[in-house]
Amino acid sequence: MASLARLAGIKIEEVSGVGNGRGSSLRRSGIKTVADLVGWFPRRYIDRTRNPELALLPLDEEVTAVGKVQKTSIRRPRRGLVIVESTITDGTGSVSLVFFNQDFRYRQLSEGAEIAASGKIQRFKGKLRMSSPTVDVLDRPVEGLATGRLVPIYPGVKGVKPGYIRRWIHNSLRRSSPMSDPIPEPIRSELELVDRETAYNQIHFPSEPTDVDNARRRLIFDELFRLELALALQKRRQIAESRGRAHAVGGELAERFLAGLPYALTEAQWRVLGEIRSDLRAPHAMHRLLQGEVGSGKTVVAVAAMLEAVSGGSQAAVMAPTEVLAGQHFLGIRSLLERAGLSPGEESETRLGMESLFAEPSSDLPVRIALLTSAQVRTNYDPGATRSEVLDAIASGKVDLVIGTHALIQEGVAFGDLAVAVVDEQHRFGVGQRVLLKDKATEADPDLLIMTATPIPRTLSITLYGDLDVSHLDEMPPGRSPVATSVFPKTRQAEAWQVVREEVAAGRQAFVVCPLVEESEKMELASATAEFSRLSKVFSDLRVGLIHGQLASPDKEAIMSAFRRGEIDVLVSTTVIEVGIDVPNATVMVIEDADRFGLSQLHQLRGRVGRGEHPGRCILISDPSTPEGKARIAAMADTNDGFRLAEIDLTLRGQGTVFGARQSGMVDLKLADIIRDYRELFVARREAFALVDRDPDLSHHEEMKEEIRALLGEKVEWLLKS
């Protein structure tokens, strides 16, 4: 019995007729083994019963012309050159086929033979002609390859004629028979999947269109099942290997913090906090993804979770993707702690006022927080703390809660006892960084909470983050009205500026996002500066500021602070403000050349306004020139629902672009499309996780295990070691 893993162990050069030369052509196309070869699926099929009419075939494109040979001639115009020319027709038109030094074609293309010629049709001296096409003789089947009604057409492999590929696949399948099937029979019959051998044979050599459908369904399931099995193993592994700890939850710190909030948590926030608390209470380490629309209030939930660790005498950390965001988290968390009377408050301006609101003195349960980025250090207990003092305080455990950027995971930063780690806006970080943060813990693995405001359709999140549990903040704090979005062409820019003026006159503030510049940072800087001076003239009576990525962090922070304090009316910005910025008094966002931004970026940007009591407005200035640009603008104008936008985004971009570095080793999807095939994905997930529950190290499913190892490669190797 041949297993797929075994076929993955046979080098492509070993297939008879391949050899080294063609072998290297195949390898260049990614066909390295027999498993790759039989997994080289047809791009389409020609239906011999419904041939495309010759007269309708387009020029200069790879096409297949099917017709009857009318006449064939052979010439030897000079020594060493043989030209065979054959004319085929189907009654609607005719095409001449020309071959050089392929004498055998003269016999092959005998008058009356029905053939399919694949290649490009070109106009040559007023006639339609194909030069050296690939030929399949349809009524004289070679090894039965063209006996079905449907002839497979393969994606091209440079340097190898399609006919060879078809023949090699055919021979390989024949030699691999009988092929074993690792998907357990009960699953197959419940899902009405054909067996593996049938699937491979029918996807390559179908006799009916329904054969192709059945084969595809089965092979798509295989791809999704392998992926989900790898994820299930990863998850189990994490649980098994984690040296977690069981926290006591509902500690005094968290309770006081929640009681001190200036608002009541939403129901969704309570629910999510409950989910996190039950993870914290459990003995294994938490791996939880918290998804929530921009402005849904993830930060407070995270702080409440971190305070549980602090109550227990350990430390917690938040890692933010940018300096500005880390700085903002520091300020926000400090002020919430102050309100709750939990900050030692040496730097606090509001402490005295707050103290009178609470019976207890604020210093009996101080929570010491520190900001640590590559450019800044700050604490809430010692305004003069130096970097090395802060590092010492983190190492000794004196600091309870550390807020930072990726500086946190750098060498030289040691924690006394890190127990809860929060990663904000995960899409900016790779998995590697997540692991590094985990490694900062000494005692046990920290409980990990990953927060993202990039809404990910569920179908994608279970794949991208399949090893994580997912919580959803699916409710906005009360009183928010959705941001009203309008689209103006450039010619009506002045109207956008008028809206900005009106809002500023009413005491609000505005963002203007500069056109996206992708060429270089220098260009981006130049364009932002130019836009700033232009707008400074447009708004000569207003206070206009500029923030961009090339500014040093303290300068960025200074500008953001000034904007927060209301000292800037209009903040001209690049996408540095995209994530997380929270200035509730900002109510208008104007995005220039909006169609050039990605959909999730636009959605994030729009999330910067409408965060307070006043309704927000978003104005997209855009004259979209591409279909995708048009679609993005239309989608933005149409909905504020981040999940809906994420789905549209995926459809526009395709699944390939979303995997990126994350899990790339586990993703080997040739036929499956997790968006289109989301139902199958859920089924595969259910079955894969159930299988791993029953057989955690796949010791009773040895073949499946070998297959994952062989097809998903080294990156999953660690999952399979026992």
Applying the rule CB under 6 A, the residues between 491 and 520 that interact with ligand ADP are none
Choose between 148 and 292: whose C-beta lies nearer to ligand ADP.
292
> How many Å from the N-terminal Cα to the C-terminal Cα in the chain?
26
633 beta partners: none
Distances (CA, A) of 368 to 253, 304, 319, 342, 442: 12, 15, 17, 9, 20
Residue 629: name its binding partner from ligand ADP, Mg ion, none (Cβ under 5 to 8 Å by kind): none
- Contacting ligand ADP (CB under 6 A), which of 184, 260, 477, 665? 477
Give the H/E segment covering residue 162.
helix 162-175
Specify the 3-state DSSP secondary structure of 307: helix
Residues in CB range of 143: below 8 A, 6 or more apart: 167, 170, 171
Residue 112, phi-psi category: left (phi > 0), alpha (psi -120 to 50), beta (remainder): left
Cβ at position 479, least distance to ligand ADP in Å: 7
Interatomic CA distance for residues 667 and 655, integer angstroms: 11
Total of residues contacting ligand ADP (CB under 6 A): 17
Cβ at position 584, least distance to ligand ADP in Å: 6
Amino acid sitting at position 25: S
Cβ at position 581, least distance to Mg ion in Å: 9
- In this structure, the number of other CB atoms found within 10 A of the CB of residue 297 comes to 20
> What is the torsional sign of CA 188, 190, 193, 198?
positive
- Does residue 292 bind Mg ion (CB under 5 A)? no
Applying the rule CB under 6 A, the residues between 598 and 617 that interact with ligand ADP are 611
Interatomic CA distance for residues 513 and 636, integer angstroms: 16
Amino acid sitting at position 147: T
Give me 538's structure tokens: 């447009």
Give me 110's structure tokens: 């005998």
- Contacting ligand ADP (CB under 6 A), which of 96, 296, 640, 655? 296
- Does residue 582 bind ligand ADP (CB under 6 A)? yes
Cβ at position 585, least distance to ligand ADP in Å: 11
Reduced DSSP (H G I as helix, E B as strand, rest coil) percent helix, strand, coil of the chain, to 5: 45, 20, 40
Cis peptide before 178 (omega within 30 of 0): yes
Residue 182: name its binding partner from ligand ADP, Mg ion, none (Cβ under 5 to 8 Å by kind): none
- Are the C-beta atoms of residues 466 and 235 closer than 8 Å to each other? yes
- Does residue 640 bind ligand ADP (CB under 6 A)? no
- Does residue 300 bind ligand ADP (CB under 6 A)? yes
Stretch that binds ligand ADP, among 59-67, 117-125, 298-306, 619-627 (CB under 6 A): 298-306
Q: Which pairs count as long-range contacts for 196-202, CB under 8 Å and 24+ apart, including other chains?
A: 196/4, 196/222, 200/38, 200/173, 200/176, 201/173
Residues in CB range of 87: below 8 A, 6 or more apart: 69, 70, 71, 72, 94, 95, 96, 97
| Residue nearest to Mg ion as judged by C-beta position | 580
Stretch that binds ligand ADP, among 190-198, 242-250, 265-273, 487-495 (CB under 6 A): 265-273
- Does residue 327 bind Mg ion (CB under 5 A)? no
Dihedral angle computed from the Cα positions of residues 108, 114, 116 and 120, in that order, rounded to the nearest 10 degrees = 80
- Does residue 260 bind ligand ADP (CB under 6 A)? no
- Contacting Mg ion (CB under 5 A), which of 39, 345, 580, 610? 580
Residues in CB range of 11: below 8 A, 6 or more apart: 23, 32, 33
Stretch that binds Mg ion, among 90-98, 161-169, 580-588, 679-687 (CB under 5 A): 580-588
Residues in CB range of 631: below 8 A, 6 or more apart: 648, 652
- Does residue 466 bind ligand ADP (CB under 6 A)? no
Choose between 321 and 629: whose C-beta lies nearer to Mg ion.
321
Cβ at position 30, least distance to ligand ADP in Å: 41
Cβ at position 3, least distance to ligand ADP in Å: 48
319 beta partners: 404, 423
Stretch that binds ligand ADP, among 23-31, 291-299, 433-441, 553-561 (CB under 6 A): 291-299
Residue 457: name its binding partner from Mg ion, ligand ADP, none (Cβ under 5 to 8 Å by kind): none
Residue 179: name its binding partner from ligand ADP, Mg ion, none (Cβ under 5 to 8 Å by kind): none
| Residue nearest to ligand ADP as judged by C-beta position | 297
- What HEC string does 318-330 produce? EECCCHHHHHHHH
- Contacting ligand ADP (CB under 6 A), which of 31, 173, 294, 528? 294
Interatomic CA distance for residues 255 and 518, integer angstroms: 47
- Does residue 298 bind ligand ADP (CB under 6 A)? yes
Choose between 472 and 611: whose C-beta lies nearer to ligand ADP.
611
Choose between 404 and 580: whose C-beta lies nearer to Mg ion.
580
Residue 291: name its binding partner from ligand ADP, Mg ion, none (Cβ under 5 to 8 Å by kind): none
- Does residue 455 bind ligand ADP (CB under 6 A)? no
Choose between 281 and 480: whose C-beta lies nearer to Mg ion.
480
Choose between 202 and 452: whose C-beta lies nearer to Mg ion.
452
- Does residue 295 bind Mg ion (CB under 5 A)? no
Residue 294: name its binding partner from ligand ADP, Mg ion, none (Cβ under 5 to 8 Å by kind): ligand ADP
- What HEC string does 371-395 produce? EECCCCEEECCCCCCCHHHHHHHHH
Stretch that binds Mg ion, among 89-97, 300-308, 575-583, 604-612 (CB under 5 A): 575-583
- Does residue 292 bind ligand ADP (CB under 6 A)? yes
- Does residue 297 bind ligand ADP (CB under 6 A)? yes
- Residues 181-220, mask of contacts with ligand ADP (x by CB under 6 A): ----------------------------------------
Per the listing, tokens 């993202």 go with: 452
Choose between 220 and 583: whose C-beta lies nearer to Mg ion.
583
Choose between 182 and 580: whose C-beta lies nearer to Mg ion.
580
Specify the 3-state DSSP secondary structure of 697: coil
- Does residue 182 bind Mg ion (CB under 5 A)? no
Specify the 3-state DSSP secondary structure of 459: helix
What backbone phi and psi angles, to 5 degrees, belong to 535?
Answer: -70, -25
Per the listing, tokens 């019963």 go with: 49
Interface residue list for Mg ion (CB under 5 A):
580
The residues that touch ligand ADP, with contacts defined as CB under 6 A, are 263, 265-266, 269, 292, 294-300, 453, 477, 582, 584, 611
